[in-house]
Chain A
Amino acid sequence: MSTDVMIYANGLTKRYGSFRALDDVSFEVRRGEIVGFLGPNGAGKSTTMRILTCFIAPTSGVAKVRGHDVFDDTLAVRSSLGYLPQRAPLYLEMTVFEYLRFASQMRNLDGDSFKKRARNVVEICGLAQSLSKEIRQLSHGYRQRVGLAQALIHDPPILILDEPTSDLDPNEKAEFLNYLKQIGRDRTVLLSTHNLKEVESACARAIIVSRGRVVADGALDEIRAKSGRVHYVVAVQESPGSAPYRGKGAAPKGSEVEQALTSLRGAKKVVEHPTDERAHVFDVAGEEGVDLRPEIFRLVADKGWVLLELHRDTQTLEDVFRQLTIGDERRNRRIGPVSAEGNEDEDEDDEDEEDE
């Protein structure tokens, strides 16, 4: 009866005048997935979420939530969503309890189910002490909790959270992410953030947007592998110190080691890291699929140097993120006074650039 695709977006484009906030964004989120929606500020995360929650309409493209179009069938879409907008805008003059009751009335919860849900939600969000406080008096972190509570009160199958953790302290964050993992088993969660650690701890999948486009979409491992680069860290002892070199071995000069490493087959780039006097530390960039570690060990052993450290650094999500989102500066988001066809050409050029 039900399908797996809970959120479906195809070719979403949003233009503000000549500014392209979103440019052909397509993705889908299935039931039971917690998807991190990543991107630098102004990349179009909030815009996408606003489209999915029927707050604004896309200039072109289709978005569906549980198979219902966000434009034609907004009530069905909105009633299956729990949404926390950025910075949790709430009615400051209401108390937490009043606000939750208001939200539950809008969601058509009757008194009994409201009490039941509220107890649950208040516990999850740690609001028990603040129920009778005016929202105005709460700190940003607590306001965010109220925003979360409001999004959870009707137990929605889909949660769309726009930077839900931005104002929480580290403990709260961890707690919240844990809770997300729990409820995410049979629900669908799309959460935007620029904190990559959160994504790594809560999400199995991430969608990275940059300048209005999806630049990566997939399991975290896939995304990590996307840049296709592997780094090796090599540390060679420099000064004999208390453990002198044996035999003919002598402490090598930095340039010597660098030269040797550069000459290795498969080593692309060698960079020396600044360290203290006891060791030369180099960062060797290698190709994916080729393991350089045996080569490096043999090289060091042949030379008779002392190897202090050798390890392979897999790409962190952070690296990928930076790589995917920073290198994008060139792309022109403004649509000048060009004809419609001119624009399309421009679009295609852009894609070519990205493929490189």
Chain B
Amino acid sequence: MKSRKPMAIVADIVKYVVLIAGALFTLLPFVWMVLSSLKSANEIVQIPPTMIPREFMFSNYAEAWAEAPFPRYFLNTVFVATVTTVGVLLTSILSAFAFSKLDFPGKKIIFSLFMATLMIPGEMLLITNFITITKLKWIDTYKAMIVPWLANVFYTYLLTQFFSNVPDALYLAAKVDKCSDLKFLFKIMVPMNKNAITTVAILSFIGSWNSFLWPLLVTNSTNMRVLSHGLVRFQSEAGTKYQLVMAASCILVVPIIIVYLFLRKYILEGMSYTGVKG
């Protein structure tokens, strides 16, 4: 075994110290959330704050859990986020393929019109979309929470850019081999852009998971509400019960961590491809 040069050892030590410091720094908010969720009402407002709770108040979890029907909210959120994500992937992939590889009249104009809609602030659409949903009598249904988000111009644009990078020669070669457009799309195009598509899926899922205003607008019954609505129940006009917010957040973050563990590889690759900050 070859003995290592002292310089290399020092470099390694510096590298790991920096990495560990970075890891701790990133973990801190999460650790803080968990520790805060176990503090008592008077300890959470104490200045300077304590790191480790004097007394572990596991009752915060029971109290937070009892405040809203979280299991139902959880199911609703998962369902809405999943269906929205699958739907938005389908529409984005199909339209991105059309814009990048197919020739049809008015392609450039339609694409420009698509892009132009990115300039309209979401708030402007809120009320008009709401009125549409009301006229369709979709209030208080899953449809109302899902259908308006099934197409997304930004994701279409993102995927169009990725698909455009795939050489036309591949597409034409497939054509020569009598491969249909759809077959080419799902057998070649999609696997080649796996990472970009995963990124879109993750962004869409997180967006849907965190959405608050729209689901609130289009639902009225407790059965149809989502997790983000549960979290605001600890706020009032005169203050916020932070220990309960933290306890509820801890409960809610568990499923996200599980998803992350399964998809870790794709998420990291996807992020580095698009430069989206995690």
Partners in one complex: no
